[in-house]
Structure 1
Amino acid sequence: MNRIGTAGRFFDIFNFLFLSFLALITIYPFWDTLIVSVIPLNEYLNSTIHVFPTSLTFDAYIYLFSMKELWTSYGATLFITTVGTAINMILTVMAAYALSKPQLKGHRVIMFLIVFTMMFSGGIIPTYLIVKNLGLMNTLWALIIPSAINTYNLIIMRNFFGSLPEGLVDAARIDGSNDMGVLFKIVIPLSMPAISTITLFYAVSRWNEFFNAIFFISDKNLWPLQLFLRSMLFENESSYSGGGDNVFLLGPSIKMATVMAATIPVMLVYPFFQKYFVNGVMVGGVKE
Protein backbone atom coordinates (compact mmCIF):
# COMPACT_ATOMS: atom_id res chain seq x y z
CA MET A 1 0.00 0.00 0.00
CA ASN A 2 2.89 2.28 0.90
CA ARG A 3 4.55 1.55 -2.44
CA ILE A 4 1.36 2.45 -4.26
CA GLY A 5 1.09 5.68 -2.29
CA THR A 6 4.73 6.61 -2.98
CA ALA A 7 4.37 5.82 -6.70
CA GLY A 8 1.19 7.85 -6.82
CA ARG A 9 2.91 10.86 -5.25
CA PHE A 10 5.84 10.58 -7.68
CA PHE A 11 3.37 10.40 -10.57
CA ASP A 12 1.49 13.46 -9.30
CA ILE A 13 4.75 15.42 -8.98
CA PHE A 14 5.92 14.37 -12.45
CA ASN A 15 2.52 15.10 -13.94
CA PHE A 16 2.45 18.54 -12.30
CA LEU A 17 5.96 19.43 -13.52
CA PHE A 18 5.30 18.15 -17.03
CA LEU A 19 1.99 19.97 -17.40
CA SER A 20 3.50 23.14 -15.91
CA PHE A 21 6.30 22.99 -18.47
CA LEU A 22 3.79 22.38 -21.25
CA ALA A 23 1.70 25.34 -20.09
CA LEU A 24 4.81 27.52 -19.92
CA ILE A 25 5.93 26.83 -23.49
CA THR A 26 2.34 27.40 -24.63
CA ILE A 27 1.83 30.69 -22.80
CA TYR A 28 5.28 32.20 -23.41
CA PRO A 29 4.73 33.11 -27.11
CA PHE A 30 1.66 35.14 -26.11
CA TRP A 31 3.57 36.76 -23.24
CA ASP A 32 6.51 37.56 -25.52
CA THR A 33 4.17 39.15 -28.05
CA LEU A 34 2.61 41.31 -25.34
CA ILE A 35 6.00 42.39 -23.95
CA VAL A 36 7.44 43.26 -27.37
CA SER A 37 4.40 45.42 -28.09
CA VAL A 38 5.05 47.64 -25.04
CA ILE A 39 8.85 47.93 -24.85
CA PRO A 40 11.10 50.47 -26.61
CA LEU A 41 13.00 49.43 -29.72
CA ASN A 42 16.42 49.51 -28.04
CA GLU A 43 15.29 47.07 -25.35
CA TYR A 44 13.91 44.77 -28.01
CA LEU A 45 17.21 44.80 -29.90
CA ASN A 46 19.30 44.19 -26.76
CA SER A 47 17.60 40.92 -25.84
CA THR A 48 16.19 37.90 -27.63
CA ILE A 49 14.19 36.65 -24.63
CA HIS A 50 11.66 39.04 -23.18
CA VAL A 51 10.27 38.06 -19.79
CA PHE A 52 9.86 41.29 -17.85
CA PRO A 53 10.16 44.76 -19.39
CA THR A 54 12.46 47.31 -17.78
CA SER A 55 10.53 50.20 -19.33
CA LEU A 56 7.15 50.57 -20.98
CA THR A 57 5.95 52.58 -23.93
CA PHE A 58 2.53 52.54 -25.55
CA ASP A 59 3.58 54.39 -28.69
CA ALA A 60 2.83 51.32 -30.82
CA TYR A 61 -0.75 51.11 -29.53
CA ILE A 62 -1.25 54.87 -29.88
CA TYR A 63 -0.10 54.68 -33.47
CA LEU A 64 -2.14 51.53 -34.17
CA PHE A 65 -5.40 52.85 -32.72
CA SER A 66 -5.01 56.08 -34.66
CA MET A 67 -5.07 54.18 -37.95
CA LYS A 68 -8.37 54.35 -39.79
CA GLU A 69 -7.59 51.02 -41.48
CA LEU A 70 -7.67 49.21 -38.12
CA TRP A 71 -11.20 50.34 -37.29
CA THR A 72 -12.40 49.65 -40.83
CA SER A 73 -11.06 46.10 -40.63
CA TYR A 74 -12.58 45.70 -37.16
CA GLY A 75 -15.95 46.72 -38.57
CA ALA A 76 -15.66 44.26 -41.45
CA THR A 77 -14.64 41.44 -39.11
CA LEU A 78 -17.44 42.20 -36.65
CA PHE A 79 -19.97 42.12 -39.50
CA ILE A 80 -18.58 38.83 -40.81
CA THR A 81 -18.52 37.33 -37.32
CA THR A 82 -21.99 38.38 -36.18
CA VAL A 83 -23.96 38.03 -39.41
CA GLY A 84 -21.96 35.04 -40.63
CA THR A 85 -22.26 33.15 -37.35
CA ALA A 86 -26.01 33.85 -37.19
CA ILE A 87 -26.50 32.47 -40.71
CA ASN A 88 -24.26 29.51 -39.89
CA MET A 89 -26.25 28.59 -36.80
CA ILE A 90 -29.71 29.07 -38.36
CA LEU A 91 -28.90 26.83 -41.33
CA THR A 92 -26.91 24.29 -39.31
CA VAL A 93 -29.54 23.86 -36.59
CA MET A 94 -32.45 23.55 -39.00
CA ALA A 95 -30.61 21.16 -41.34
CA ALA A 96 -29.31 19.05 -38.45
CA TYR A 97 -32.78 18.77 -36.90
CA ALA A 98 -34.31 17.63 -40.16
CA LEU A 99 -31.54 15.11 -40.85
CA SER A 100 -31.76 13.69 -37.32
CA LYS A 101 -35.25 12.35 -38.10
CA PRO A 102 -35.22 8.80 -39.51
CA GLN A 103 -38.64 9.39 -41.07
CA LEU A 104 -37.17 11.98 -43.43
CA LYS A 105 -37.19 10.32 -46.84
CA GLY A 106 -33.76 10.03 -48.37
CA HIS A 107 -31.94 11.26 -45.24
CA ARG A 108 -29.18 8.65 -45.69
CA VAL A 109 -28.54 9.76 -49.26
CA ILE A 110 -28.54 13.40 -48.21
CA MET A 111 -26.07 12.67 -45.38
CA PHE A 112 -23.84 10.75 -47.78
CA LEU A 113 -23.75 13.70 -50.15
CA ILE A 114 -22.98 16.07 -47.28
CA VAL A 115 -20.19 13.89 -45.87
CA PHE A 116 -18.84 13.43 -49.40
CA THR A 117 -17.97 17.15 -49.46
CA MET A 118 -15.58 16.61 -46.54
CA MET A 119 -13.44 14.30 -48.69
CA PHE A 120 -13.87 15.85 -52.12
CA SER A 121 -14.51 19.51 -52.77
CA GLY A 122 -14.81 21.54 -55.96
CA GLY A 123 -11.49 23.28 -55.38
CA ILE A 124 -10.34 26.87 -55.35
CA ILE A 125 -10.86 27.72 -59.03
CA PRO A 126 -14.49 26.49 -59.29
CA THR A 127 -15.30 28.26 -56.01
CA TYR A 128 -13.73 31.46 -57.30
CA LEU A 129 -15.70 31.25 -60.57
CA ILE A 130 -18.97 30.67 -58.72
CA VAL A 131 -18.39 33.63 -56.40
CA LYS A 132 -17.45 35.82 -59.37
CA ASN A 133 -20.47 34.78 -61.45
CA LEU A 134 -22.77 35.47 -58.50
CA GLY A 135 -21.43 39.02 -58.34
CA LEU A 136 -20.05 38.61 -54.83
CA MET A 137 -16.47 39.69 -55.54
CA ASN A 138 -15.31 42.52 -53.27
CA THR A 139 -18.28 42.11 -50.96
CA LEU A 140 -18.32 40.72 -47.43
CA TRP A 141 -21.01 38.27 -48.51
CA ALA A 142 -18.31 36.42 -50.45
CA LEU A 143 -16.86 35.42 -47.07
CA ILE A 144 -20.23 34.40 -45.60
CA ILE A 145 -22.41 32.66 -48.18
CA PRO A 146 -19.94 30.07 -49.61
CA SER A 147 -19.24 28.78 -46.09
CA ALA A 148 -22.75 29.03 -44.70
CA ILE A 149 -22.64 25.46 -43.34
CA ASN A 150 -19.64 23.51 -42.04
CA THR A 151 -20.07 19.77 -42.58
CA TYR A 152 -18.28 18.76 -39.39
CA ASN A 153 -20.39 21.08 -37.25
CA LEU A 154 -23.54 19.86 -38.99
CA ILE A 155 -22.70 16.25 -38.13
CA ILE A 156 -22.09 17.15 -34.47
CA MET A 157 -25.44 18.92 -34.24
CA ARG A 158 -27.26 16.10 -36.01
CA ASN A 159 -25.79 13.52 -33.62
CA PHE A 160 -26.69 15.65 -30.62
CA PHE A 161 -30.28 16.07 -31.77
CA GLY A 162 -30.48 12.35 -32.45
CA SER A 163 -29.38 11.59 -28.88
CA LEU A 164 -32.27 13.51 -27.30
CA PRO A 165 -35.10 11.40 -25.81
CA GLU A 166 -37.74 10.83 -28.45
CA GLY A 167 -40.39 10.75 -25.74
CA LEU A 168 -40.09 14.49 -25.22
CA VAL A 169 -40.76 15.10 -28.90
CA ASP A 170 -43.73 12.74 -28.86
CA ALA A 171 -45.16 14.47 -25.78
CA ALA A 172 -44.85 17.85 -27.48
CA ARG A 173 -46.61 16.55 -30.57
CA ILE A 174 -49.44 15.18 -28.42
CA ASP A 175 -49.79 18.69 -26.96
CA GLY A 176 -50.26 20.01 -30.48
CA SER A 177 -46.78 21.32 -31.37
CA ASN A 178 -45.64 21.15 -34.98
CA ASP A 179 -42.07 20.61 -36.14
CA MET A 180 -41.06 24.25 -35.64
CA GLY A 181 -42.65 24.31 -32.20
CA VAL A 182 -40.80 21.15 -31.17
CA LEU A 183 -37.54 22.59 -32.47
CA PHE A 184 -37.74 25.96 -30.71
CA LYS A 185 -39.57 24.91 -27.52
CA ILE A 186 -38.03 21.49 -26.83
CA VAL A 187 -34.95 20.69 -28.90
CA ILE A 188 -33.05 24.00 -28.82
CA PRO A 189 -33.42 24.62 -25.03
CA LEU A 190 -32.15 21.08 -24.36
CA SER A 191 -29.27 21.50 -26.82
CA MET A 192 -27.73 24.72 -25.51
CA PRO A 193 -24.35 23.08 -24.62
CA ALA A 194 -23.92 21.82 -28.19
CA ILE A 195 -25.31 25.01 -29.72
CA SER A 196 -22.95 27.16 -27.63
CA THR A 197 -20.00 24.99 -28.67
CA ILE A 198 -20.82 25.12 -32.38
CA THR A 199 -21.50 28.86 -32.14
CA LEU A 200 -18.03 29.41 -30.73
CA PHE A 201 -16.50 27.19 -33.43
CA TYR A 202 -18.20 29.26 -36.10
CA ALA A 203 -17.44 32.60 -34.44
CA VAL A 204 -13.72 31.87 -34.08
CA SER A 205 -13.58 30.70 -37.68
CA ARG A 206 -15.33 33.86 -38.84
CA TRP A 207 -13.11 36.08 -36.71
CA ASN A 208 -10.01 34.47 -38.25
CA GLU A 209 -11.33 34.74 -41.82
CA PHE A 210 -8.21 34.98 -43.98
CA PHE A 211 -7.87 32.46 -46.80
CA ASN A 212 -11.10 33.31 -48.65
CA ALA A 213 -10.53 37.03 -48.09
CA ILE A 214 -7.26 36.86 -50.04
CA PHE A 215 -9.10 35.50 -53.08
CA PHE A 216 -12.35 37.44 -52.94
CA ILE A 217 -11.48 40.83 -51.38
CA SER A 218 -9.10 43.23 -53.13
CA ASP A 219 -10.63 46.46 -51.83
CA LYS A 220 -8.64 47.54 -48.76
CA ASN A 221 -11.71 49.21 -47.31
CA LEU A 222 -13.31 45.76 -47.02
CA TRP A 223 -10.30 43.94 -45.61
CA PRO A 224 -11.13 41.89 -42.49
CA LEU A 225 -8.87 42.14 -39.48
CA GLN A 226 -6.65 39.22 -40.48
CA LEU A 227 -5.77 40.80 -43.82
CA PHE A 228 -4.94 44.05 -42.04
CA LEU A 229 -2.76 42.03 -39.65
CA ARG A 230 -1.02 40.40 -42.61
CA SER A 231 -0.30 43.76 -44.20
CA MET A 232 1.17 45.06 -40.92
CA LEU A 233 3.35 41.98 -40.40
CA PHE A 234 4.82 42.28 -43.88
CA GLU A 235 5.80 45.89 -43.37
CA ASN A 236 9.56 46.19 -42.86
CA GLU A 237 9.25 49.10 -40.46
CA SER A 238 6.82 51.79 -39.44
CA SER A 239 7.47 55.16 -37.98
CA TYR A 240 5.48 57.32 -35.65
CA SER A 241 5.97 60.98 -35.03
CA GLY A 242 5.46 61.61 -31.35
CA GLY A 243 5.47 65.35 -31.81
CA GLY A 244 8.10 67.76 -32.99
CA ASP A 245 11.14 66.08 -34.47
CA ASN A 246 10.95 62.91 -32.36
CA VAL A 247 10.52 59.84 -34.50
CA PHE A 248 10.23 56.39 -32.94
CA LEU A 249 10.82 53.29 -34.98
CA LEU A 250 7.99 50.89 -34.20
CA GLY A 251 8.66 48.00 -36.57
CA PRO A 252 8.53 45.03 -34.10
CA SER A 253 6.30 46.81 -31.58
CA ILE A 254 3.57 47.79 -34.05
CA LYS A 255 3.50 44.28 -35.47
CA MET A 256 3.10 42.66 -32.07
CA ALA A 257 0.54 45.28 -31.04
CA THR A 258 -1.50 44.39 -34.13
CA VAL A 259 -1.29 40.70 -33.22
CA MET A 260 -2.55 41.47 -29.72
CA ALA A 261 -5.38 43.63 -31.08
CA ALA A 262 -6.51 40.71 -33.25
CA THR A 263 -6.12 38.07 -30.51
CA ILE A 264 -7.34 39.65 -27.28
CA PRO A 265 -11.09 39.87 -28.19
CA VAL A 266 -11.28 36.11 -28.77
CA MET A 267 -9.23 35.40 -25.63
CA LEU A 268 -11.65 37.50 -23.57
CA VAL A 269 -14.73 35.72 -24.91
CA TYR A 270 -13.38 32.16 -24.84
CA PRO A 271 -13.43 31.57 -21.02
CA PHE A 272 -17.17 32.20 -20.91
CA PHE A 273 -17.81 29.39 -23.43
CA GLN A 274 -15.05 26.98 -22.41
CA LYS A 275 -17.33 25.01 -20.08
CA TYR A 276 -19.55 24.04 -23.01
CA PHE A 277 -16.78 22.44 -25.08
CA VAL A 278 -16.39 19.02 -23.45
CA ASN A 279 -20.09 18.60 -22.72
CA GLY A 280 -21.28 19.73 -26.13
CA VAL A 281 -18.78 17.85 -28.29
CA MET A 282 -18.81 14.58 -26.31
CA VAL A 283 -22.59 14.36 -26.04
CA GLY A 284 -22.85 15.14 -29.75
CA GLY A 285 -20.82 12.05 -30.51
CA VAL A 286 -22.94 9.61 -28.47
CA LYS A 287 -25.33 8.58 -31.20
CA GLU A 288 -24.73 8.35 -34.92
Structure 2
Amino acid sequence: MIKSKKTKTVDWIIVIFALLAICICIFPVLNVMAVSLSSNSAITNNKVFLLPVEFTTKAYSYVLSDASVVRSLFFTTYLTLVCTVLSMVITILCAYPLAQTKLVGKKAINIVIIITMYFNAGIIPDYLNVKNLNLLDNFWVLVIPSCLSVFNMIILKTFFRSIPESLKESAKLDGATHWTILSKIYLPLSTPVLATLALFYAVGRWNGFQDALFYISNRNLYTIQLKLYQIVNNLSSIDTHAEANVVSMVTSESMKAATVMFATVPILLIYPWLQRYFIEGATIGAVKG
Protein backbone atom coordinates (compact mmCIF):
# COMPACT_ATOMS: atom_id res chain seq x y z
CA MET A 1 0.00 0.00 0.00
CA ILE A 2 1.42 3.37 -1.10
CA LYS A 3 1.11 6.11 1.48
CA SER A 4 0.07 9.58 0.47
CA LYS A 5 2.28 12.61 1.06
CA LYS A 6 -0.04 13.77 3.86
CA THR A 7 0.17 10.39 5.60
CA LYS A 8 3.98 10.41 5.42
CA THR A 9 4.05 13.89 6.98
CA VAL A 10 1.86 12.72 9.87
CA ASP A 11 4.13 9.71 10.36
CA TRP A 12 7.19 11.95 10.57
CA ILE A 13 5.46 14.22 13.09
CA ILE A 14 4.64 11.17 15.24
CA VAL A 15 8.25 9.98 15.00
CA ILE A 16 9.58 13.39 16.04
CA PHE A 17 7.26 13.58 19.04
CA ALA A 18 8.22 10.01 19.99
CA LEU A 19 11.92 10.87 19.82
CA LEU A 20 11.34 13.98 21.96
CA ALA A 21 9.49 11.88 24.53
CA ILE A 22 12.34 9.36 24.57
CA CYS A 23 14.90 12.12 25.10
CA ILE A 24 12.86 13.68 27.90
CA CYS A 25 12.71 10.30 29.66
CA ILE A 26 16.27 9.11 29.10
CA PHE A 27 18.33 12.30 29.55
CA PRO A 28 17.67 12.62 33.32
CA VAL A 29 18.67 8.97 33.80
CA LEU A 30 21.89 9.47 31.84
CA ASN A 31 22.66 12.63 33.80
CA VAL A 32 22.20 10.90 37.16
CA MET A 33 24.35 7.99 36.02
CA ALA A 34 27.06 10.37 34.78
CA VAL A 35 27.09 12.25 38.09
CA SER A 36 27.37 9.00 40.04
CA LEU A 37 30.45 8.01 38.01
CA SER A 38 32.21 11.40 37.94
CA SER A 39 34.92 12.85 40.14
CA ASN A 40 34.49 15.39 42.90
CA SER A 41 36.09 18.24 40.95
CA ALA A 42 34.07 17.59 37.80
CA ILE A 43 30.78 17.70 39.70
CA THR A 44 31.80 20.80 41.67
CA ASN A 45 32.73 22.64 38.44
CA ASN A 46 29.45 21.60 36.70
CA LYS A 47 31.27 19.75 33.92
CA VAL A 48 29.02 16.68 34.03
CA PHE A 49 26.06 16.38 31.66
CA LEU A 50 25.37 13.05 29.93
CA LEU A 51 28.76 11.33 30.13
CA PRO A 52 30.99 10.71 33.18
CA VAL A 53 33.94 13.08 33.61
CA GLU A 54 37.07 11.68 35.30
CA PHE A 55 35.48 8.28 35.74
CA THR A 56 35.34 6.88 39.28
CA THR A 57 33.25 4.33 41.17
CA LYS A 58 33.92 5.64 44.69
CA ALA A 59 30.27 6.61 45.17
CA TYR A 60 29.09 3.08 44.35
CA SER A 61 31.73 1.60 46.63
CA TYR A 62 30.43 3.76 49.44
CA VAL A 63 26.80 2.81 48.82
CA LEU A 64 27.59 -0.90 48.62
CA SER A 65 29.67 -0.70 51.78
CA ASP A 66 26.67 0.60 53.72
CA ALA A 67 24.96 -2.46 55.21
CA SER A 68 21.68 -0.60 55.74
CA VAL A 69 21.32 0.22 52.02
CA VAL A 70 22.08 -3.36 50.96
CA ARG A 71 19.66 -4.67 53.59
CA SER A 72 16.94 -2.31 52.33
CA LEU A 73 17.51 -3.50 48.77
CA PHE A 74 17.09 -7.18 49.65
CA PHE A 75 14.12 -6.44 51.88
CA THR A 76 12.41 -4.44 49.11
CA THR A 77 13.05 -7.26 46.63
CA TYR A 78 11.41 -9.76 48.98
CA LEU A 79 8.56 -7.35 49.72
CA THR A 80 7.95 -6.75 46.02
CA LEU A 81 7.78 -10.49 45.29
CA VAL A 82 5.30 -11.10 48.14
CA CYS A 83 3.13 -8.12 47.18
CA THR A 84 3.09 -9.01 43.49
CA VAL A 85 2.11 -12.64 44.05
CA LEU A 86 -0.56 -11.80 46.64
CA SER A 87 -1.94 -8.92 44.54
CA MET A 88 -2.20 -11.10 41.44
CA VAL A 89 -4.01 -13.85 43.36
CA ILE A 90 -6.53 -11.39 44.83
CA THR A 91 -6.98 -9.59 41.51
CA ILE A 92 -7.70 -12.86 39.68
CA LEU A 93 -10.10 -14.08 42.37
CA CYS A 94 -11.95 -10.76 42.24
CA ALA A 95 -12.02 -10.36 38.45
CA TYR A 96 -13.18 -13.88 37.55
CA PRO A 97 -16.54 -13.92 39.41
CA LEU A 98 -17.30 -10.33 38.35
CA ALA A 99 -16.79 -11.39 34.74
CA GLN A 100 -19.56 -13.98 35.02
CA THR A 101 -22.90 -12.89 33.54
CA LYS A 102 -24.96 -14.90 36.05
CA LEU A 103 -23.36 -13.58 39.25
CA VAL A 104 -26.08 -12.39 41.64
CA GLY A 105 -25.62 -8.77 42.76
CA LYS A 106 -22.82 -8.14 40.29
CA LYS A 107 -23.87 -4.55 39.55
CA ALA A 108 -24.01 -3.60 43.23
CA ILE A 109 -20.60 -5.18 43.87
CA ASN A 110 -19.13 -3.34 40.88
CA ILE A 111 -20.47 -0.01 42.12
CA VAL A 112 -19.05 -0.52 45.61
CA ILE A 113 -15.65 -1.48 44.20
CA ILE A 114 -15.52 1.39 41.70
CA ILE A 115 -16.42 3.95 44.39
CA THR A 116 -13.15 3.11 46.15
CA MET A 117 -11.27 4.38 43.06
CA TYR A 118 -12.56 7.92 43.58
CA PHE A 119 -13.16 8.28 47.31
CA ASN A 120 -11.02 7.47 50.33
CA ALA A 121 -11.05 8.44 53.99
CA GLY A 122 -7.73 10.29 53.92
CA ILE A 123 -4.30 9.91 55.48
CA ILE A 124 -5.27 10.43 59.13
CA PRO A 125 -8.16 7.90 59.19
CA ASP A 126 -5.92 5.44 57.34
CA TYR A 127 -3.23 5.86 59.97
CA LEU A 128 -5.69 5.44 62.83
CA ASN A 129 -7.12 2.34 61.18
CA VAL A 130 -3.66 0.82 60.76
CA LYS A 131 -2.81 1.69 64.36
CA ASN A 132 -6.01 0.12 65.71
CA LEU A 133 -5.24 -3.05 63.77
CA ASN A 134 -1.79 -3.20 65.42
CA LEU A 135 -0.05 -3.07 62.05
CA LEU A 136 2.39 -0.24 62.80
CA ASP A 137 5.99 -1.38 62.32
CA ASN A 138 4.67 -4.61 60.83
CA PHE A 139 5.70 -6.23 57.55
CA TRP A 140 2.08 -6.70 56.51
CA VAL A 141 1.28 -2.98 56.69
CA LEU A 142 3.33 -2.68 53.50
CA VAL A 143 1.37 -5.49 51.84
CA ILE A 144 -2.29 -5.59 52.83
CA PRO A 145 -3.46 -1.97 52.22
CA SER A 146 -2.18 -1.98 48.63
CA CYS A 147 -2.72 -5.62 47.65
CA LEU A 148 -5.58 -4.83 45.23
CA SER A 149 -5.73 -2.19 42.52
CA VAL A 150 -9.30 -1.65 41.31
CA PHE A 151 -8.00 -0.32 38.01
CA ASN A 152 -5.95 -3.48 37.39
CA MET A 153 -8.88 -5.65 38.43
CA ILE A 154 -11.16 -3.91 35.92
CA ILE A 155 -8.60 -4.50 33.13
CA LEU A 156 -8.44 -8.21 33.95
CA LYS A 157 -12.22 -8.49 34.36
CA THR A 158 -12.75 -6.86 30.97
CA PHE A 159 -10.39 -9.34 29.34
CA PHE A 160 -12.08 -12.29 31.05
CA ARG A 161 -15.40 -11.07 29.63
CA SER A 162 -13.91 -11.08 26.11
CA ILE A 163 -13.19 -14.83 26.33
CA PRO A 164 -15.92 -16.70 24.40
CA GLU A 165 -18.65 -18.17 26.58
CA SER A 166 -18.60 -21.29 24.40
CA LEU A 167 -15.24 -22.32 25.90
CA LYS A 168 -16.65 -22.16 29.41
CA GLU A 169 -19.89 -23.90 28.49
CA SER A 170 -18.10 -26.75 26.75
CA ALA A 171 -15.86 -27.20 29.78
CA LYS A 172 -18.90 -27.31 32.06
CA LEU A 173 -20.43 -30.04 29.88
CA ASP A 174 -17.28 -32.08 30.50
CA GLY A 175 -17.75 -31.65 34.25
CA ALA A 176 -15.25 -28.85 34.83
CA THR A 177 -15.66 -26.71 37.95
CA HIS A 178 -15.04 -22.96 38.12
CA TRP A 179 -11.55 -23.61 39.52
CA THR A 180 -10.77 -25.85 36.56
CA ILE A 181 -12.15 -23.35 34.07
CA LEU A 182 -10.13 -20.55 35.65
CA SER A 183 -6.85 -22.48 35.81
CA LYS A 184 -7.12 -24.42 32.52
CA ILE A 185 -8.85 -21.91 30.23
CA TYR A 186 -8.88 -18.34 31.52
CA LEU A 187 -5.38 -18.03 32.95
CA PRO A 188 -3.49 -19.62 30.00
CA LEU A 189 -5.34 -17.28 27.62
CA SER A 190 -4.55 -14.27 29.83
CA THR A 191 -0.76 -14.47 29.91
CA PRO A 192 -0.13 -11.02 28.33
CA VAL A 193 -2.58 -9.30 30.68
CA LEU A 194 -1.30 -11.13 33.76
CA ALA A 195 2.33 -10.30 32.92
CA THR A 196 1.46 -6.63 32.43
CA LEU A 197 -0.53 -6.37 35.66
CA ALA A 198 2.26 -8.14 37.56
CA LEU A 199 4.65 -5.52 36.20
CA PHE A 200 2.32 -2.72 37.33
CA TYR A 201 2.11 -4.18 40.83
CA ALA A 202 5.86 -4.81 41.06
CA VAL A 203 6.82 -1.31 39.90
CA GLY A 204 4.23 0.28 42.18
CA ARG A 205 5.51 -1.58 45.23
CA TRP A 206 9.17 -1.06 44.39
CA ASN A 207 8.71 2.71 43.96
CA GLY A 208 6.39 3.14 46.94
CA PHE A 209 7.71 4.83 50.06
CA GLN A 210 4.82 6.87 51.47
CA ASP A 211 3.32 3.95 53.42
CA ALA A 212 6.75 3.04 54.81
CA LEU A 213 7.30 6.69 55.73
CA PHE A 214 4.02 6.84 57.65
CA TYR A 215 3.89 3.40 59.25
CA ILE A 216 7.47 2.15 59.65
CA SER A 217 10.09 3.25 62.17
CA ASN A 218 11.94 -0.07 62.45
CA ARG A 219 15.13 0.24 60.38
CA ASN A 220 14.97 -3.45 59.47
CA LEU A 221 11.72 -2.75 57.58
CA TYR A 222 12.98 0.26 55.61
CA THR A 223 12.32 -0.03 51.88
CA ILE A 224 14.99 1.06 49.43
CA GLN A 225 12.92 4.09 48.42
CA LEU A 226 12.54 5.22 52.03
CA LYS A 227 16.27 4.76 52.52
CA LEU A 228 16.90 6.75 49.35
CA TYR A 229 14.55 9.46 50.60
CA GLN A 230 16.54 9.73 53.83
CA ILE A 231 19.89 9.80 52.05
CA VAL A 232 18.83 12.49 49.60
CA ASN A 233 17.39 14.68 52.34
CA ASN A 234 19.98 14.02 55.00
CA LEU A 235 23.22 12.36 53.97
CA SER A 236 24.24 11.92 57.59
CA SER A 237 21.50 9.30 58.03
CA ILE A 238 23.83 6.78 56.39
CA ASP A 239 25.33 4.96 59.34
CA THR A 240 29.03 4.37 58.79
CA HIS A 241 32.05 4.98 60.99
CA ALA A 242 34.17 6.31 58.10
CA GLU A 243 31.65 8.84 56.85
CA ALA A 244 33.89 11.87 57.33
CA ASN A 245 36.68 10.36 55.23
CA VAL A 246 34.26 9.25 52.51
CA VAL A 247 32.63 12.68 52.23
CA SER A 248 36.06 14.19 51.75
CA MET A 249 36.62 11.91 48.72
CA VAL A 250 33.14 11.84 47.22
CA THR A 251 30.65 14.67 46.94
CA SER A 252 27.19 14.30 48.39
CA GLU A 253 25.73 14.74 44.90
CA SER A 254 27.60 11.73 43.52
CA MET A 255 26.52 9.61 46.49
CA LYS A 256 22.90 10.65 46.03
CA ALA A 257 23.11 9.86 42.32
CA ALA A 258 24.70 6.47 43.01
CA THR A 259 21.94 5.63 45.47
CA VAL A 260 19.28 6.66 42.94
CA MET A 261 20.83 4.37 40.31
CA PHE A 262 21.22 1.61 42.91
CA ALA A 263 17.48 1.80 43.62
CA THR A 264 16.37 2.24 40.00
CA VAL A 265 18.38 -0.26 37.97
CA PRO A 266 16.96 -3.50 39.50
CA ILE A 267 13.38 -2.73 38.53
CA LEU A 268 14.48 -1.55 35.07
CA LEU A 269 16.02 -4.95 34.44
CA ILE A 270 12.56 -6.54 34.64
CA TYR A 271 11.19 -4.65 31.63
CA PRO A 272 13.12 -6.51 28.88
CA TRP A 273 11.71 -9.83 30.15
CA LEU A 274 8.11 -8.59 30.03
CA GLN A 275 8.34 -6.17 27.10
CA ARG A 276 6.74 -8.54 24.59
CA TYR A 277 3.66 -8.79 26.81
CA PHE A 278 3.48 -5.14 27.84
CA ILE A 279 1.85 -3.43 24.84
CA GLU A 280 -0.55 -6.30 24.14
CA GLY A 281 -1.49 -6.68 27.79
CA ALA A 282 -2.02 -2.96 28.41
CA THR A 283 -4.46 -2.61 25.51
CA ILE A 284 -6.12 -6.02 25.27
CA GLY A 285 -8.29 -5.38 28.31
CA ALA A 286 -9.87 -2.39 26.60
CA VAL A 287 -11.10 -4.32 23.54
CA LYS A 288 -14.47 -5.03 25.07
CA GLY A 289 -16.27 -2.89 27.62
Provide the TM-score with structure 2 as the length reference. Answer: 0.91
1:57 partner letter: T
Contact 1:33 1:260 (C-alpha < 8 Å) held by counterparts: yes
1:240 to partner: Cα distance: 6.1
Structure 1 CA distance, aligned partners of 2:80 and 2:264? 14
Residues 1:31 and 2:20 are matched in the alignment: no
Structure 2 CA distance, aligned partners of 1:14 and 1:263? 31
Contact 1:64 1:254 (C-alpha < 8 Å) held by counterparts: yes
Task: State the Cα deviation string for residues 166-199 of structure 1 (Å, max 9, x = none).
Answer: 1111111111110000000110000111111111
SS in structure 2 at match of 1:274:
helix
Structure 1 residues not aligned, in runs of 5+? none
Query: What does 1:60-71 align with in structure 2 at a 5 Å threshold?
Result: 60-71=59-70
Match of 2:285 in 1: 284
Query: What does 1:13-24 align with in structure 2 at a 5 Å threshold?
Result: 15-24=14-23
Match of 2:267 in 1: 266
Q: 1:249 to 1:169 in 2, by over 3 A?
A: same
Please give the root-mean-square deviation of Cα atoms over the aligned residues, in Å. Answer: 2.2
Structure 2 CA distance, aligned partners of 1:147 and 1:51? 37
Contact 1:240 1:250 (C-alpha < 8 Å) held by counterparts: no
2:252 partner letter: G
Structure 2 CA distance, aligned partners of 1:24 and 1:149? 33
Structure 1 CA distance, aligned partners of 2:18 and 2:117? 34
Residues 1:154 and 2:144 are matched in the alignment: no
1:10 to partner: Cα distance: 5.4
1:209 to partner: Cα distance: 1.7
Paired positions, count: 283
1:54 to partner: Cα distance: 3.4
Structure 1 CA distance, aligned partners of 2:117 and 2:269? 31
SS in structure 1 at match of 2:226:
helix
Structure 2 residues not aligned, in runs of 5+? none
Task: State the Cα deviation string for residues 109-147 of structure 1 (Å, max 9, x = none).
Answer: 001000011111122122112211111110121010111
Match of 1:83 in 2: 82
Contact 2:35 2:48 (C-alpha < 8 Å) held by counterparts: no
Match of 2:55 in 1: 56
1:86 to partner: Cα distance: 0.8
1:80 to partner: Cα distance: 1.6
Q: 1:232 to 1:105 in 2, by over 3 A?
A: same
| Mean Cα deviation higher: 216-225 or 276-285 | 276-285
Contact 2:92 2:156 (C-alpha < 8 Å) held by counterparts: yes
Structure 1 CA distance, aligned partners of 2:257 and 2:284? 39
User: Percent same amino acid at aligned positions?
Assistant: 37
1:271 partner letter: P
Structure 2 CA distance, aligned partners of 1:13 and 1:96? 41
Contact 1:93 1:157 (C-alpha < 8 Å) held by counterparts: yes
Match of 1:173 in 2: 172
Q: 1:37 to 1:180 in 2, by over 3 A?
A: same
Task: State the Cα deviation string for residues 144-167 of structure 1 (Å, max 9, x = none).
Answer: 011121110111111110110111
2:123 partner letter: I
Contact 1:114 1:151 (C-alpha < 8 Å) held by counterparts: yes
Structure 1 CA distance, aligned partners of 2:221 and 2:284? 39
Contact 1:40 1:55 (C-alpha < 8 Å) held by counterparts: yes
1:251 partner letter: S
Match of 2:207 in 1: 208
Contact 1:156 1:285 (C-alpha < 8 Å) held by counterparts: yes
1:72 to partner: Cα distance: 1.6
Structure 2 CA distance, aligned partners of 1:140 and 1:4? 59
Match of 2:255 in 1: 254
1:65 to partner: Cα distance: 0.3
